[in-house]
Each structure stands twice: as C-alpha cells, then as structure tokens.
C-alpha cells in the first residue's frame, strides 16, 4: 500500500501519526538542549560553589547562600522537566494508525505492523480514544514545556535583578544587551525579558488547547485543527528559548568581591539561634533572645560559613554529582530514541 492508496486510512489517524512523529522528534531535541545546558550549569555550580551571596525569602535578606546553590537549584528543576518530557514522550509514543475516522475499518489490517515500522512503543488500542486523545496529548506536551519556560522565567528574573548595579553580583555579556534609543549609558537585559514574556505566551497556548477540547463530545471534530498550531509553536519557542538562554548564560561572569560585600551581620542571626539550640536552649527561647539583641550578632566570614554547612544539598555539599548522574541517565535514554526519529520514519510512513 503506497501513500496514494487511502484504503483503511482517514485524514484523522494520518494527522494524528504525523503530529506524534513530529512531537517525538522535537521532544528529543529539547531534551538534548536541556541535557547540554544542565551539564554547563553543573560546571558553573561547581566553579562557584564557594562564592557566597545573601539568600532571600519574601525578597528580604534571610540567610547565607551561594552562587553554586542558586544555580544548582535550577539544574535540578530543569532535570525534573526532562522527566516530565519523558512521560509526555511515553504517552504520545502510541501509534494511532488503523483507528481511521474513530471507529476502525472492516478489513483485516495489522496495526502492530505499522506501529513497529514507525518505532512506536505500542499501538493505541481503542480506536475511538485515538481521536479523543487529540488535544489531550498536545496539552500534556505543552504542560511539560510550560514548566521549562517557567523555570527559565524565574532564572531570567534572578539574573536581571542580580546583574543590576544595585546588586552587581553578575555581569552580562554586553553584546547581548541592547542599548537605549535615548539614554546612552543604558545596557538592557532584553533577551531575558523576552524569555519571561515567551513563558506567558506558552501558558496561553496551553490554555488555548484546554479551552478548545474541554466541551467536545467523543469522536473527531474540526475544532482539533486549532490544536496543532499552539503545539508546533510551543515546541519551537521552547527550544529557541533554551538555546538563547544557555548561550548568554555561558558568558555570564560572577563578581566575587561584590557578592562578599553584600553580607552584613543580620544574615547570621538564624545560625546564632541554632548555636544556642545546640547548647540545649529551647528554640523559641533562643529565637526570642537573639531577636531582642540583633546588634550583638557578629559578622562572620561568609565563605567559611557556607562551606561549613555540609549536610546533603546544603551550600557546603551541593551534591552536583547527583545531577551529573541524572544527566548521564537521561543521555542513555535519549541516544537510542534519537536513532529511531527523524525524516527516515516520516518517509516510512508516507510509503506505508
């Protein structure tokens, strides 16, 4: 049967399989970009693990933190997003061919054979669900992409703030920071601002799909045509955002002296409370005692302080090797899937 023979086919299951081949290919590209970017971020965290910065809650100065802890937090969050993408890939890796217009055909077709040729994990069994899952599967993929973009948005905001002159922890590469049309002294972090905006755009795409599909009865409807655009745009937008973000971040510089100079004695108040607790003073009593005498809190060496916190995941024990191990595992998952993706499979489909 060649591509000019429509026996046992409908546009419905052909479009479905096209979208799934397309989505699988793009998910693998995005996972690769995340894997490469997280490898670079791990190196950044290791390089800057002993550089202290004030940690914040409610954006108020709270406790000692470090550049390594800050960047390592985003590594782990982005790696969790790879897990979400893997789950999305697993769900869409079901071959809908043979479902036809939602109700199958009265011919003895071999659905498993076409699934095997296209390297799908399995056949999507119920022929009606194959069409009912349209929009749903696109939303699942977009949900994972929204998580990635939300992380990039938070990451971008931190960089915008901490590279401002009032903080000065980081310096951005000037070539990526356009100037002002009026003010000659300005250098603006425009790419990071655009990434934040793109994150909002992607959320809109996700809710667009939810709104389209939420009230549809079973079976195919032309409404599904409008779920393709946000999926395809969302995949492309996410990959481009990752590429731009990591390109700029790779040239970010850390101003160690400015980071250390940002410390003042009140950042060590909580640790003074815990020092009293270690001597047997109840926590609430220790808290009250320090709160009433904040002027007695001594300024400590920020670098020595962060390196002294050695429990797993703290500033003195970042556990970066755990993230590197996860990257290795993701890469081991990625490589064989990449070998089964791309235009060769599309050509196989067109010649079925």
Q: Which of 10, 48, 58, 341 is catalytic?
A: 58
Is residue 10 part of the annotated active site? The answer reads: no
* Average pLDDT along the chain: 93
CA angle 132, 135, 140 (to 5 degrees): 110
Residue 3's pLDDT is what? 46
List, in order of start, the domains of the chain with CATH numbers. Answer: 11-264+319-350 (1.20.200.10), 265-298 (no CATH)
Question: According to the model, what pLDDT value does residue 340 have?
Answer: 76
Q: Evaluate the CA torsion angle 168, 173, 176, 181 in order and state its sign.
A: positive
Q: Which of 119, 133, 180, 214 is catalytic?
A: 180
Q: What's the whole-number mean pLDDT along residues 145-150?
A: 98
Average pLDDT over residues 129-145: 96
Q: For residue range 28-73, list pLDDT tens digits in order.
A: 999 999 999 999 999 999 999 999 999 999 999 999 999 999 999 9
> Would the pLDDT of 122 be above 60?
yes
- Per-residue model confidence (pLDDT) at position 1: 42
71 among known catalytic residues: no
pLDDT, position 352: 58
Q: Express each pLDDT in 62-119 by its tens digit.
A: 999 999 999 999 999 999 999 999 999 999 999 999 999 999 999 999 999 999 999 9
User: What's the pLDDT score for residue 342?
Assistant: 62
Per residue in 292-328, pLDDT (tens digit) is 999 999 999 999 999 999 999 999 999 999 999 999 9
C-alpha–C-alpha distance, residues 233 and 198, integer Å:
11
pTM: predicted TM-score of the whole model, two decimal places: 0.93
pLDDT of residue 9 exceeding 80: no
Query: Residues near 7 by Cβ (< 8 Å), separated by ≥ 6?
Result: 1, 107
Please tell me which residue, 264 or 341, carries the higher pLDDT value. 264
Residues of the chain with pLDDT > 70: what percent?
95
Q: Which of 270, 157, 143 is nearest to 202 (CA)?
A: 143
Q: Residue 348: what pLDDT?
A: 58
pLDDT at 170 over 70: yes
Mean pLDDT for the stretch of residues 110-135: 95
């Amino acid at each position: 049967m060649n591509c000019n023979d429509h026996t046992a086919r409908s546009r419905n299951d052909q479009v479905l399989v096209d979208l799934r081949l397309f989505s699988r290919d793009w998910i693998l590209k995005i996972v690769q970009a995340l894997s490469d970017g997280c490898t670079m971020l791990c190196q950044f965290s290791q390089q800057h693990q002993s550089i202290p910065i004030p940690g914040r809650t409610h954006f108020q100065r709270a406790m000692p933190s470090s550049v390594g802890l800050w960047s390592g937090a985003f590594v782990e969050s982005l790696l969790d997003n790879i897990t979400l993408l893997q789950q999305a890939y697993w769900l869409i890796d079901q071959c809908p061919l043979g479902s036809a217009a939602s109700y199958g055909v009265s011919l003895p077709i071999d659905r498993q054979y076409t699934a095997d040729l296209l390297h799908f994990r399995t056949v999507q069994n119920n022929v009606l669900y194959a069409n009912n899952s349209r929009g749903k599967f696109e939303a699942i993929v977009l949900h994972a992409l929204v998580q990635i973009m939300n992380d990039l948005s938070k990451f971008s905001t931190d960089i915008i703030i901490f590279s401002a002159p009032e903080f000065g922890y980081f310096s951005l590469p000037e070539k990526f920071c356009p100037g002002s049309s009026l003010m000659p002294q300005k250098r603006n972090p425009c790419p990071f601002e655009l990434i934040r905006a793109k994150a909002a755009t992607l959320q809109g795409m996700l809710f667009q799909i939810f709104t389209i599909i939420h009230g549809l009865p079973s079976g195919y409807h032309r409404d599904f045509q409008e779920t393709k655009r946000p999926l395809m745009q969302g995949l492309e937008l996410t990959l481009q955002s990752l590429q731009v973000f990591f390109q700029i971040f790779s040239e970010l510089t850390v101003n160690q002296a400015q980071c250390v100079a940002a410390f003042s004695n009140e950042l060590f108040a909580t640790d003074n409370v815990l020092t009293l607790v270690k001597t047997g003073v109840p926590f609430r009593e220790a808290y009250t005692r320090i709160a009433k005498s904040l002027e007695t809190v001594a300024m400590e060496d920020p670098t020595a302080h962060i390196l002294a916190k050695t429990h797993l995941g703290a500033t003195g024990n970042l556990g970066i090797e755990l993230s590197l191990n996860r990257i290795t595992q993701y890469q081991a998952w990625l490589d064989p899937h990449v070998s089964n993706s791309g235009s060769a499979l599309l050509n196989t489909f067109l010649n079925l």
